[in-house]
Amino acid sequence: MERVLELFRRKTELIPADLLFLLYLGNLSTWIPVFMVGVLFLAIKEHRFRASVIGMSAGLVALFSSIYASYCLLLISIYLPEIVRSFGE
């Protein structure tokens, strides 16, 4: 993904902050499986919190996925006209 972001560098040689945030969210998403495994171990160890722990972790993963997808769609809607315009030149 970092190679793709290199294409969006400005004249000042800086990558826009919105694309950097997308990169950071992408790096954060690699930790979601580690989080889920930890939650499953916690649910196995503590039987009385099993339903609430699994439910809350599933809700957090769904929330993160929705935010990530929404942000990606927002960036696509912002940068797609610029990309199409550059291909037309």
Chunk the chain into consecutive blocks of 10 residues (it has 89) and report each block's average pLDDT, rounded to whole numbers. 66 76 86 87 83 87 92 88 76
> Cα 3 from chain centroid?
17
CA distance linking residue 50 with residue 78, whole number of Å: 42
- Give pTM, 2 decimals: 0.71
Cβ neighbours of residue 42 closer than 8 Å, sequence gap 6 or more: 49, 53
Instruction: Look at residue 27 in the predicted model and tell me its pLDDT.
Output: 86
Type and span of the H or E element at 88: helix 50-88
Which two tokens mark 87?
A: 């291909």
